[in-house]
Structure 1
Amino acid sequence: MKGFILMFMGTCHLFEAFGVTHSLKYFYTASSGVPNFPEFMVVGMVDGVQIDHYDSNSQRMVPKQDWMNKQTEAEYWERETGIAFDSQQVFKDDVNILKQRFNQSGGVHIVQKTYGCEWDDETGQTGGFTQHGYDGEDFLGYDMKTFTWIAPKQQAEITRLKWNHDQAGLAFWHNYLTQTCIEWLKKYVDYGKSTLRKVPPSVSLLQKTPSSPVTCHATGFYPSGVMVFWQKDGQEQHEDVEHGETLPNDDGTFQKSAHLTVTSEEWKINQYQCVVQVTGIKEDFIKVLTESEIQTNWDDPAPIIGGVVALLLVVVVVVGVVIWKKKSKKGFVPASTSDTDSENSGKGFQKT
């Protein structure tokens, strides 16, 4: 299953700009020959947070967030269930069609489809995409510049020609990706604004003594999805780096640290910097390791202003936790899903 989990990771950023970018994405998966796994599944996500789920076992589209259930009517879920149920048969047919096109019989096979849009709430810039895959590889894509389908594989030519002659289907995707999807995204962001809020981190470099590790401490950010890592001369540094766990703050935000063991001689002749990346915020937060950036109390034994003392106390606690806890492992990323609708453009199975 690893192939289709990784396949669509490149769809996460459609345009580059600083600011808060919101996204709405749907993932469809149809499979055959996969034990203990639904033959068909749909997952919807807003800003990386799962909002709904459908699979062929339950045959019901259900909310995965309380705010989705509170803000939507019962008719909404009936309609979404109907769309997913209709798609289920289409995708089942697609699996069989593509097995024939690739001269395959048994074994494990996966048909995928993903589509969605992004919206920058500062610049107003938007983008959209829809993509099909088969067995972990690109099968068919939609070109947002020409608003036509493109086929990276010879086996997809039949579908490309058929769909590009379907004027109603092309018009649907153009309208959906440039307007309808954006409208729904804005609604969902408003529904879950308290949960989906984005708060940038405050980043500090801390050190107890000249021989202690240098701690990159990010705090006050939201949501909890974050990467804190060290770079040496532009390359990520793995050796001599200890990662702390993501911990909650009293105000509902989060904190996380990464500890670098390095001598002052070493970082003075090489450029070390800490990079903090928060889910949903496109800007990287960077602190270059210099003597002036390090906050410490070893220069002056006298009392230090309360803010610095508080930060140093946090470092002591975090370092203590790291000593007796194993490194935190990355969480499981929900499987991307999608479809390769070989004989059906799928225009009847989208949100309108």
Structure 2
Amino acid sequence: MQSAVFLFFGIHLVYAGKHSLQYFFTATSGLPNFPKFVSVGLVDGQPFTYYDSNIRREIPRQEWMAKSEGEEYWDRETQTSNRAEQRFMNSIEVAKYRFNQTGGVHTFQEMYGCEWDDQTGETNAFRLEGYDGDDFLSEDLKEMRYISPVLQGFPTAQKWNNDKALIDNDKNYFSTECIEWLQKYLQYGKNSLQKTVSPQVSLLQKDPSSPVTCHATGFYPSGVTITWMKNGQDHHEDVELGELLPNEDGTFQRTSTLRVTPDEWKNNEFSCVVEHRGETIRGILPDNSSDSFPIGIIVGVVVALILLIVSGVVGFVLYRRKKGFKPVPQNQSDDGSNRS
């Protein structure tokens, strides 16, 4: 049986000066215990609005958002999500037809939004769609045209590229409206969005022959670096960095796994180094001369506030379980994806 493929929210790494507004849409077919349509809005990686096909109402996910907008706003956003739900459910049926599919589990997804650097004034925007975890359509916002990497997406790309009203609407939204709303939301939630929360760092190992995972969680903003050291020197071999993932409380988590043999552990000292907002936290495995390691969690210790996180910008990344990300467009004009 085909399994559902969902995107992991590609949370943008938030550094000083860099801000983002993102919307994620997921429509599903063949999952009886899951909402058929879900919409989530995020500011700087923090969920602030939510809608699904069960509640059929746009609701705030942050207290600062609930206090800042009244019923008119939520009624308007609910109507937009109602229309998007209908469009996306139609998109799944169109996609199934184009790919010659009938039953099974399928997903149709979209991500769009914008970025703004409050120090340089630089802006950026993005819109991506996919079906069953594979890329289906994207919008080149410099050339203002839709592009599809698969034959099944060509009819939609051609139809939308010939829709002058749609293209003009996209141009206005991504160049102006999206940035204006992002700035407004940043003002609404400035006390929360400007906070800094240090990570909690743990080392986890099942048994002496198992990999060791360095787990950093509960930190905000999302910019974090996890590295390994061997006998005091940087170590990059046999290291796998996990995805940046959101926690329910608006903070983030990330892991890095190191694979070495028990003999290497016994003869060397390995440590995990987590850097976040100028704070360095080091986790060290105890007594590497022992033939066994404790199973479970070894909590890292704050060493010193010495290193500053590089104020670079990592490009917006969409993490996907398969090679692609999102959904498939439909044979209708875009009548309501763009949000406030």
After TM superposition, the score normalised by the length of structure 1 is 0.65
Q: 1:192 to 1:5 in 2, by over 3 A?
A: same
Q: Distance in 1 between matches of 2:197 and 2:62?
A: 23
1:134 aligns with 2:131: yes
What is the Cα deviation at residue 158 of structure 1?
Answer: 0.3
Q: Which residue of 2 aligns with 1:300?
A: none
1:148 aligns with 2:150: no
1:12 is matched with 12
Equivalent position of 2:32 in the other structure = 35
Asked if 1:173 is matched to 2:144, the reply is no
1:346 aligned residue: 334
Displacement after TM superposition at 1:154 (Å)? 0.4
Measured against aligned partners, the alpha-carbon deviations of 1:174-197 in whole angstroms (never above 9, x if no partner) come to 221121111111111111111111
Deviation at 1:344, TM superposition (A): 2.5
In 2: Cα distance, 1:50 partner to 1:338 partner = 19
1:125 is aligned with what amino acid? E
* Distance in 1 (alpha carbons) for counterparts of 2:236 and 2:17: 25
Q: Work out the number of aligned pairs and report it.
A: 278
CA contact (8 A) 1:20 1:198 kept: no
Q: Which residue of structure 2 lines up, in the alignment, with residue 77 of structure 1?
A: 74
Between the aligned residues of both structures, percent identity stands at 41
List structure 1 runs of 4+ shifted beyond 3 angstroms.
Answer: 17-20, 198-202, 221-229, 231-238, 272-278, 322-325
Q: Which moved more, 1:54-63 or 1:115-124?
A: 115-124
Task: Report matched runs for 1:237-256 at 5 Å.
Answer: 237=239
Which of 54, 57, 71 is the aligned partner of 2:54? 57
The 3 A distance-change label for structure 1 pair 20 and 39 is: same
Q: Which amino acid aligns with 1:122?
A: Q
Distance in 1 (alpha carbons) for counterparts of 2:96 and 2:29: 10
What residue is the counterpart of 2:21 in the other structure? 24
Using the alignment, how far apart are the partners of 1:344 and 1:275 within structure 2?
51
1:316-345, Cα deviation, whole Å (9 max, x unpaired): xxxxxx9796369xxxx9x9x965331134
**CA displacement at 1:50 relative to structure 2:** 0.7
The TM-score, its normalising length taken from structure 2, stands at 0.67
Q: Does 1:111 align with 2:108?
A: yes
Query: Does structure 1 conserve the Cα–Cα contact (< 8 Å) formed by 2:144 and 2:171?
Result: yes
CA distance in 2, matches of 1:224, 1:93: 35
Shift of 1:173: 1.2
Is residue 2:297 matched to residue 1:326? yes
Q: Contact between 2:136 and 2:327, CA under 8 Å: does it hold in 1?
A: no
Q: Which residue is equivalent to 2:227?
A: 229
Name the CA shift for 1:63/1:273 in 2 (closer, same or farther; >3 Å): same
Structure with bigger gyration radius: 1
Deviation at 1:273, TM superposition (A): 9.1
The gaps in structure 2 that reach 5 residues or longer are 200-213, 241-246, 259-263, 285-292, 300-318
Answer whether contact 2:20 2:182 (CA < 8 A) is retained: yes
Q: 1:47: which partner in 2?
A: 44
Q: Which has the higher helix share?
A: 1
Query: If each structure's strand is expressed as a fraction of its own residues, which one has the higher value?
Result: 2
Q: Is the 1:71–1:191 contact (alpha carbons within 8 Å) kept by the matching residues of 2?
A: yes
Q: Aligned equivalents of 2:138 and 2:25: distance in 1?
A: 15
Task: Please state whether the residue corresponding to 1:182 is helix, strand or coil.
Answer: helix
